[in-house]
Amino acid sequence: MAKFIKFFTALLLVFLLVNFLYLTLLPKIDWDFGKTREAYRFKNKQLKVLVFGNSMAMDGVNTEMLSGVFGPAYNFSVGGASLETNLIQLNEYLRNNAKPAKVLLMLGSAHTNYRNGNEVNPIIDYYYGDDFVVKNLKGIPLFKFRWLFIENFKKLLSANHRSAIVVNGQLRINSIVPDISSKKNKLDSCLQNDVYNAPGYSGMWSIIDVCKKAGITIEIFEMPCWKEVQNNCTDINISRKTGDSVYNLQINNLNNFNRCDTLLDPKKDWLSKNHLNYSGSSKVTREIIRMLANTISPVNPN
Q: Do the domain assignments include residue 222?
A: yes
Q: How confident is the model at residue 159 (pLDDT cuts 50, 70, 90)?
A: low
Q: Which helix (H) or strand (E) holds 170?
A: strand 170-172
Question: Does 153 have pLDDT greater than 60?
Answer: no
Closest to 105 in 3D by CA, of 123, 84, 124: 84
- Which has more confidence, 75 or 117? 75
Residue 240 pLDDT:
82
Q: Do the domain assignments include residue 301?
A: no
Q: Do the domain assignments include residue 14?
A: no
Q: Does this model's pTM top 0.75?
A: yes
List of residues 6+ apart from 32 with CB closer than 8 A: 58, 78, 79, 121, 123
Q: How confident is the model at residue 68 (pLDDT cuts 50, 70, 90)?
A: very high
Residue 301 pLDDT:
40
Task: Report the C-alpha gap between 220 and 101 in whole angstroms.
Answer: 14
**What's the average model confidence in pLDDT over 12-33?**
59
Closest to 257 in 3D by CA, of 291, 290, 234: 234
Residue-wise pLDDT for 30-66, tens only, equals 778 788 889 999 999 999 999 999 999 999 999 999 9
**What's the average model confidence in pLDDT over 112-119?**
72
Residue-wise pLDDT for 261-301, tens only, equals 999 999 999 999 999 999 999 999 999 999 998 665 555 54
Residue-wise pLDDT for 187-239, tens only, equals 555 666 677 888 888 899 999 999 999 999 999 999 999 999 888 888 888 88
Range of the domain at 203: 20-292
Q: Do the domain assignments include residue 101?
A: yes
Residue 132 pLDDT:
45
Q: Do the domain assignments include residue 60?
A: yes
Residue 96 pLDDT:
96
Question: Does 10 have pLDDT greater than 60?
Answer: no
Average pLDDT, the chain: 81
Structural domain count of the chain: 1
Q: Do the domain assignments include residue 258?
A: yes
Q: Do the domain assignments include residue 164?
A: yes
Q: Do the domain assignments include residue 38?
A: yes
